[in-house]
Structures are given as structure tokens and as C-alpha cells.
């Protein structure tokens, strides 16, 4: 199930796309943290831990997890920083309204999203461990706004499950098209300036 992309209400806000019932990572991104190299039970932050698919707390893995996953418990926080990226994604499990994601952007800016804002408001089933309405792949595109440089996962109470944290920049071909576009704009501006100078001569 795919939910149409929605824009977060803010200037130059990221565009969010949620694909319920899907694991993996978004196109154009590379997984930078999947918690598989950590021992189950390892601390990854303040009241945040890496878990295996079975654990003494009964915390369910993020949707699509094939190994360990991360979870922020009640009052917990997990943060990750990375090189500036146009795209950011992760898979989530049984998302709840009290789960909070803080997207860190260039220029010391941030976007704060509660669970219902991450995947389309009332369209999801709060806290369901199996429903594609609250489990799946969520991705963010910076569009014309500041690039992503990190994220913080928080939860007011148990728990916020996540895995396959991924980030990426446009493919080289996309960069080439962007550079050509900027060159064309620059050329048009130079011609316009030159024509204005001739008109006043």
C-alpha cells in the first residue's frame, strides 16, 4: 500500500512518501545503519537499544528487518548524523502517535514530525504490529529545501522501532542535468544583461 506523497507544512519542507508493508530502502539511498553489526541489547543512545527479532521486552522488529533493529524506549533517544543528502529513508514498525522523528537539516534547521504526521495522519492504525498502515518504508526528499544531515528518533513511551536507515544524493546523471540547467539559466541571464546594455548604449 502506498500513500501519496505529502508535504510537511513549512517553508521548503521535505516531501514524505510512505509505502506500507514494504521493507528495504528508498531508491537513490544507501543503508548507513542497520544495527546488524551490534550485539542485541547494545545501547545505541539514551534508553535506546539494538534488538534482535526476539527479545525479553517483546518489542517487535521494524517492518522488513532481517536482523537486528533499533528501538527508542519511553523517554529514549537515538541520533544519527551523515553527509548532506537529498534523500533519507528508514523502515518503521508499529508506529505510534507518541513517536517523534526530528529531521536535521543544513543551516541548523530541523523538522519535527509526530507519528501521525510521518505517515499521513488518520490513515494509519496506531501501534499495530502487522498492519501495512503503520509498518513500512518512509522516505523523505529535500526538494529545493536544505539537505538532510541527520535524524533523531524519540518516543514518549514504549517504543519507536526503526531499521535500514539510509541516505543518498542524486545519481551522477541527475547532477549532470542539474549543472546543465544551471548553465542554461546563467547563459540566459548573461544574454539578458548584454541586451539591456546594448539598449542603453
Distance of CA 146 to the CA centre of its chain: 14
Are the CB atoms for 143 and 16 separated by under 8 Å? no
- The tens digit of pLDDT for each residue in 23-66 reads 999 999 999 999 999 999 999 999 999 999 887 777 888 888 88
49 alpha carbon, distance to own chain's centre: 20
Task: Return the C-alpha torsion angle 15, 71, 123, 113, nearest 10.
Answer: -40
Mean pLDDT of 110-137: 82
pLDDT average, residue stretch 183-197: 56
Whether residue 165 is predicted with pLDDT greater than 50 in this model: the reply is yes
Report residue 44 as a C-alpha cell: 545505541
Instruction: Say what the pLDDT of residue 193 is.
Output: 56
Average pLDDT, the chain: 83
DSSP, collapsed to helix, strand or coil, labels residue 124 as coil
Predicted confidence at residue 174, as pLDDT, reads: 47
Which of 30-34, 50-54, 70-74, 186-190 has the weakest average pLDDT? 186-190
| Mean pLDDT (whole number) for 68-74 | 96
% of the chain beyond a pLDDT of 70: 76
Q: Locate cell 541489547: which residue?
A: 41
Alpha helices in 66-150 (DSSP H): 115-118
Using DSSP's 3-state secondary structure scheme, residue 136 falls into strand
3-state secondary structure of 93: strand
pTM, rounded to two decimals: 0.79
| Res. 10: pLDDT tops 60 | no
> Residue 105's pLDDT is what?
97
Q: Is the Cβ–Cβ distance between 22 and 62 less than 8 Å?
A: no
Q: What pairs with residue 77 in β-bridges?
A: 46, 154
CA gap 144, 94 in Å, rounded: 31
Phi, psi for residue 175 in degrees, rounded to 5: -60, -40
Q: 88-114 burial by CB neighbour count: b if 16+ within 10 A, else e? A: bbbbbbbbbebbbbebbbeeeeebebe
Alpha-carbon distance of 84 to 145, in angstroms, equals 12
Q: Which CATH architecture has domain 2-169?
A: Sandwich (2.60)
Integer-rounded Cα radius of gyration of the chain: 20
Q: What is the mean pLDDT of residues 3-27?
A: 75
Tell me the average pLDDT across 10-17: 76
Amino acid at each position: 500500500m502506498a500513500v501519496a506523497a505529502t508535504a510537511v507544512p513549512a517553508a521548503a519542507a521535505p516531501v514524505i512518501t510512505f509505502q506500507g508493508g514494504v521493507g528495504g530502502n528508498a531508491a537513490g539511498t544507501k543503508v548507513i545503519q542497520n544495527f546488524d553489526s551490534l550485539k542485541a541489547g547494545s545501547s545505541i543512545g539514551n534508553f535506546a537499544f539494538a534488538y534482535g527479532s526476539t527479545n525479553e521486552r517483546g518489542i517487535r522488529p521494524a517492518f522488513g528487518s532481517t536482523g537486528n533493529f533499533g528501538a527508542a524506549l519511553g523517554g529514549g533517544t537515538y541520533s544519527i548524523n551523515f553527509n548532506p543528502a537529498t534523500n533519507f529513508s528508514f523502515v518503521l514498525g508499529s508506529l505510534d502517535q507518541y513517536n517523534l522523528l526530528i529531521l536535521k537539516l543544513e543551516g541548523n534547521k530541523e523538522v519535527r514530525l509526530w507519528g501521525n504526521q510521518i505517515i499521513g495522519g488518520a490513515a494509519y492504525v496506531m501501534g499495530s504490529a502487522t498492519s501495512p498502515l503503520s509498518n513500512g518504508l518512509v522516505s523523505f526528499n529535500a526538494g529545493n529545501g536544505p539537505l538532510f544531515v541527520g535524524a533523531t528518533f524519540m518516543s514518549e513511551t514504549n517504543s519507536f522501532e526503526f531499521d535500514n536507515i539510509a541516505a543518498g544524493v542524486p545519481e551522477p546523471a541527475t547532477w549532470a542535468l542539474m549543472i546543465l540547467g544551471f548553465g542554461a539559466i546563467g547563459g540566459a541571464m548573461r544574454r539578458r544583461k548584454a541586451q539591456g546594455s546594448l539598449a542603453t548604449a
